[in-house]
Amino acid sequence: DLSGSIATPDVKLNLGGDFIKESTATTFLRQRGYGWLLEVEDDDPEDNKPLLEELDIDLKDIYYKIRCVLMPMPSLGFNRQVVRDNPDFWGPLAVVLFFSMISLYGQFKVVSWIITIWIFGSLTIFLLARVLGGEVAYGQVLGVIGYSLLPLIVIAPVLLVVGSFEVVSTLIKLFGVFWAAYSAASLLVGEEFKTKKPLLIYPIFLLYIYFLSLYTGV
């Protein structure tokens, strides 16, 4: 009669002087060329970025641009050219969506209209600027037009209060449109346009009149 037991062989790998015990299954996989199945990848620091950084959202930069648009006077000391020279997408999109939300009044279709006018209106301004010889990118125009809706958002609650006073309401609407158009035009209309400035300022002014009409329902 034969009796006895078969013990699992211990296999040790010498890695830098340290001996590490491996199981039979691990050894079998390595011998058959499937050792790569046992490899563990190191965590990539790029995969551990915060969500805002992953989406390229800089809240401080957006807040600064909002202040530049709401206070367009050069005497205040803001570097307003950052709105044009460093365009982003999420800030203008947030402003446009917020303007769309306050314009609802039970008609949800106005949201798609406002976003469409923002995209294609900015495209029209961009094409006109390039025809006139301006060195501006579509992303810059999209950002400036989007951010410059902020004055219309500011006057929105005022219009709710003085809506019954037609003359006062009209003056506030004109003030809001001029404020928005001036803020956008002062960023987009550079020295390269010279005597052609009215050709670009006028369509910008009309664009914000149309935005306001979508809000007021005219």
Tens-digit pLDDT profile for residues 149-202: 888 888 888 888 877 788 888 898 899 999 898 888 888 876 666 667 778 888
Our count of domains for the chain comes to: 1
In a domain, 158, yes or no: yes
Which tokens is 113 given? 């209209």
Q: Which residue has the tokens 């990539």?
A: 44
In a domain, 8, yes or no: no
pLDDT at 120: 92
In a domain, 102, yes or no: yes
Coil, strand or helix: which one is 191? coil
- Taking CA atoms, 3 is separated from 6, 8, 100, 162, in Å, by 10, 17, 85, 103
In a domain, 40, yes or no: no
The closest of 90, 74, 100 to 182, measured between CA atoms, is: 74
pLDDT > 90: percent of the chain: 6
In a domain, 11, yes or no: no
pLDDT at 17: 45
In a domain, 77, yes or no: yes
> Which residue range is the domain that position 145 belongs to?
59-216
| Span 70-101, pLDDT tens digits | 888 777 777 778 888 788 888 888 888 888 88
Question: Which residue(s) pair with 13 in the sheet?
Answer: 20
**pLDDT category of residue 132 using cuts at 50, 70 and 90:** confident
In a domain, 95, yes or no: yes
Give the H or E element holding residue 15. Answer: strand 11-15
Mean pLDDT score of the chain: 76
In a domain, 47, yes or no: no
Question: Cα–Cα distance between 172 and 155 in angstroms, integer?
Answer: 7
